[in-house]
């Protein structure tokens, strides 16, 4: 559709102040190179080219990054490249993945020797260029390098999580050093008149909650954002926070930090209608157009319908900007991106007077997760709660002592496992799902259980060995290198009595199928982090069918973008949002 291109950044600021501008602004903060060039019909290389794109697409701003760990650039050594995955533009692109185990800063010696970037050495000349070339009415949004995310990427995720629970001093030092660099970058860039807002893309959550206990964020991360927020308020510029996942537990903290806006309200993690009711008068909501389904797997009509529905339900009263639920990636068809932009302009004129069902199409509807406040009580004759407390506390001697005491009391070793340790790890999983513990404690508990079982393997050997529930072949699909969630599932499954064959990461369809042939598992479990790699799950299921193996194995799928609808669509037997749920699902499938 034809749109009048009259950028006006005051429109964005009005929305950020939770008021009604003339129309709902567009709110995406990153667009990959391929969709930019497809939209423009020409290469997009220079700063002027990028300005031309943002202007032609109807945005009131241009985004650009500076600092450590920019959206399109990570410091050397912090990431590894996976195999190429397909895009919607006829080619394959290799994604960069953070180290999930050990990074470049794993101890004090490496920290002291590390050559930290200096702001004086950063090329900030782009901001002078933007001062000169922006069209009238447009501003820039600074995408500031991350603080929390940069810390765990420097350390490696598993090292970072362990350090928080076993001595947080090194974590504190790394976060503080990063914070100093990012803050100095922030001060210098915001001196430029072109800057209208600052966006901090710092993922602190996953599908079902915060990654770590909020006490760590409040102690080490949020103080830096509070300093920045104070200056943004004084300068009259916008301040926006981006995090994937369910940030419910931190929303009041974000408001206290001085953020005006929150992005992207990931639709399978947070119900934007509920978020609007609770925080819509204090935070502008930006996003929620589903990247994992509607924008990537849907049609332009579906995108149009979803934008209509979000504007109809969230925009009245102000404080809403339309954007994807993450960013516009190169696996979003350009037609769907155009539909997003056009529908925002078409339906977003204030006052909002849209009727329910006014546009036909399939759109995502959030399903609120129900969290229990207590764990399930199961009478087993043994103190499963005490075992759970020992596992969470990483009290391996305590767990071993309890198990030995139960054995000495006349309970067979395999019965201690089935009536003590397995219920205990189930309790741990429920606590994680209910937001009572976090990923570090979950990882520690799973390892503690594994170590406890290893201590008694000589007792369990031979005739006294506990009967295995079944065999699970597990792996992360081709093109995807993430494995923390997959490893947690594997550890919990082992603890619950499954034989687990872990194929690792970036597993091809051929390797999955071969493992099913050779290992004859009851269950095949596949994990994916990106919508593009999710398609490998379908390829594997289709190949199992063609080889006559599908009826011989149950298939479960999981990962951040994987939904029950997608699982059903590709013919899987089930899916789960998190590791405890996946382990529970595997048990249920064998009953």
242: nearest Cα among 167, 312, 316, 323: 323
Q: HSE of 422 in the Cβ direction (CA atoms, 13 Å)?
A: 20
Rg (CA), the chain: 25
Q: Please give the pLDDT value at position 367.
A: 66
Determine the Cα–Cα distance for residues 44 and 33; give it in Å rounded to an integer: 7
Kindly tell me if the per-residue pLDDT of 463 is higher than 50: no
Nearest to 557 by CA among 537, 541, 542: 537
Its pTM stands at: 0.89
The three-class DSSP label of residue 241 is strand
The count of other CB atoms within 10 Å of the CB of residue 120 is 8
Residue that has been written with the tokens 């430029």 in this structure: 192
> Which pLDDT score, from 0 to 100, does residue 513 have?
96
- Per residue in 43-73, pLDDT tens? 999 999 999 999 999 999 999 999 987 766 6
Q: pLDDT class for 458, splitting at 50, 70, 90?
A: confident
pLDDT at 566: 86
End-to-end CA distance of the chain: 55
Rounded CA gap, 68 and 328, in Å?
Answer: 22
The residues that bridge with 84 in the sheet, in sequence order, are 94
Q: Which two tokens stand for residue 218?
A: 């409040």
CA distance 429 to 499: 19
Range of lowest pLDDT (190-204, 220-234, 265-279, 491-505): 491-505
Say how far apart CA 411 and CA 187 lie, in whole Å.
65
Could you read off the pLDDT of 216-228 as tens digits, one per residue? 999 999 999 999 9
Helix axes 422-433, 484-495, angle to 10 degrees: 150
Query: Is 475 in a helix, a strand, or coil?
Result: strand
Considering the chain, what percentage of its residues have pLDDT values greater than 90? 69
Q: What is the pLDDT of residues 485-495, one digit of tens each?
A: 888 888 888 87
pLDDT digits (tens, 9 = 90+) for 4-14: 789 999 999 99
Residue 488: closest CA among 246, 158, 98, 148: 158
CA nearest 479: which of 533, 425, 403?
533
Render pLDDT for 353-401 as a digit per residue (tens, 0 to 9). 999 999 999 888 876 566 666 677 778 889 999 999 999 999 999 999 9
Kindly indicate the confidence band of residue 290, based on its pLDDT and cuts at 50, 70 and 90. very high
Burial 427-449 (b: 16+ CB within 10 A, else e): bbbbbbbbbbbbbbbbbbbbbbb
How far is Cα 144 from Cα 131, in angstroms, rounded to an integer? 18
3-class DSSP assignment, residue 586: helix
More confident residue, 99 or 514: 514
The CA distances from residue 431 to 161, 383, 417, 437, in Å, are 17, 17, 20, 6
Cβ–Cβ < 8 Å for 330, 288: no
Considering the chain, what is the average pLDDT of its residues? 91
| Averaged pLDDT for residues 85-96 | 79
Show me where the domains of the chain are located. 9-347, 371-467, 469-591
DSSP 500-555: EEE--SSB-HHHHHHHHHHH--SEEEEE-SSHHHHHHHHHHHHHHHHTT-GGGSEE
CATH architecture, range 371-467: Orthogonal Bundle (1.10)
Q: What is the pLDDT of residue 417?
A: 87
Q: How far is 591 from 268, CA to CA, in rounded Å?
A: 28
Give me 121's structure tokens. Answer: 């050495």
Other CB atoms within 10 Å distance of the CB of residue 97? 18
How far is the C-alpha of 541 from the C-alpha of 524, rounded, in Å?
A: 10
Contact between 13 and 238 under an 8 Å Cβ cutoff? The reply is: yes
Residues 6+ apart with CB under 8 A from 438: 209, 210, 211, 212, 213, 432
Helices (H), 72-120: 108-113
Q: Return the CATH architecture of domain 9-347.
A: Alpha-Beta Barrel (3.20)
User: What is the CATH code for 469-591?
Assistant: 3.40.50.280
So what's the pLDDT on residue 72?
A: 61
The label of the residue with tokens 């409040």 reads 218
Element (H, E) at 321: strand 320-321
């Amino acid at each position: 559709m034809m749109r009048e291109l009259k950028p006006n950044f005051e429109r964005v600021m009005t929305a950020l102040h939770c008021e009604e501008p003339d129309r709902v602004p567009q709110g995406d903060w990153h667009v990959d190179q391929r969709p930019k060039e497809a939209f423009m019909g020409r290469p997009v290389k220079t700063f002027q080219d990028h300005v031309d794109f943002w202007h032609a697409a109807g945005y009131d701003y241009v985004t650009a990054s500076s600092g450590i760990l920019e959206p399109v650039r990570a410091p050397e050594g912090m990431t590894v490249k996976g195999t190429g995955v397909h895009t919607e533009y006829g080619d394959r692109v290799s994604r960069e993945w953070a180290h999930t185990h050990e990074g470049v800063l794993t101890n004090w010696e490496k920290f002291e020797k590390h050559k930290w970037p200096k702001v004086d050495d950063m090329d900030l000349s782009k901001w002078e260029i933007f001062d000169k070339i922006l069209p009238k009415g447009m501003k820039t949004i600074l995408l500031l390098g991350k603080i929390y995310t940069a810390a765990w990427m420097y350390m490696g995720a598993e090292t970072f999580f362990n350090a928080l629970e076993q001595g947080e001093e090194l974590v504190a030092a790394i976060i503080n050093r990063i914070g100093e660099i990012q803050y100095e970058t922030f001060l210098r860039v915001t001196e430029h008149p072109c800057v209208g807002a600052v966006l901090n893309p710092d993922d602190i959550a996953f599908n079902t909650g915060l990654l770590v206990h909020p006490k760590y964020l409040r102690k080490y991360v949020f103080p830096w954002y509070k300093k920045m927020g104070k200056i943004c308020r004084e300068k009259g510029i916008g301040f926006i926070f981006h995090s994937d996942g369910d940030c419910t537990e931190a929303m009041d903290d974000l408001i206290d930090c001085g953020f005006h806006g929150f992005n992207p309200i990931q639709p399978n993690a947070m119900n934007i209608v509920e978020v609007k009711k609770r925080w819509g008068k204090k935070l502008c909501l930006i996003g929620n157009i589903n990247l994992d389904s509607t924008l990537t797997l849907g049609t332009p009509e579906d995108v149009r319908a979803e934008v209509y529905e979000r504007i109809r339900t969230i925009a009245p009263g102000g404080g809403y900007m339309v954007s994807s639920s993450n960013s516009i990636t190169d696996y979003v068809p350009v037609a769907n991106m155009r539909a997003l932009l056009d529908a925002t302009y078409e339906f977003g004129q204030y006052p909002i007077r849209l009727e329910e069902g006014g546009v036909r199409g399939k759109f995502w509807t959030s399903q609120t997760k129900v969290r229990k406040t207590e764990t399930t009580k199961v009478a087993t004759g043994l103190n499963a709660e005490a075992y759970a407390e020992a596992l969470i506390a990483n009290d391996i001697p305590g767990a071993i002592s309890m198990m030995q005491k139960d054995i000495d009391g006349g309970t067979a070793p395999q019965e201690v496992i089935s009536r003590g340790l397995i219920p205990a790890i189930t309790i741990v999983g429920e606590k994680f799902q209910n937001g009572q513990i976090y990923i570090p404690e979950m990882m520690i508990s799973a390892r503690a259980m594994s170590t406890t079982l290893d201590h008694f393997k000589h007792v369990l050997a031979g005739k006294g060995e506990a009967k295995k529930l079944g065999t699970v072949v597990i792996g992360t699909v081709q093109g995807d290198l993430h494995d923390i969630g997959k490893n947690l599932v594997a550890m919990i499954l082992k603890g619950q009595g499954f034989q687990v064959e872990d194929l690792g990461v970036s597993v091809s369809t051929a390797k999955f199928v071969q493992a099913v042939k050779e290992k004859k598992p009851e269950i095949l479990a596949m994990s994916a982090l990106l919508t593009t790699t999710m398609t490998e799950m379908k390829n594997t299921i289709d190949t199992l069918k063609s080889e006559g193996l599908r009826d011989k194995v149950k298939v479960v799928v999981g990962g951040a973008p994987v939904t029950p609808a997608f699982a059903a669509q590709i013919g899987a037997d089930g899916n789960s949002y998190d590791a405890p749920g996946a382990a529970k699902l595997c048990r249920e499938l064998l009953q």
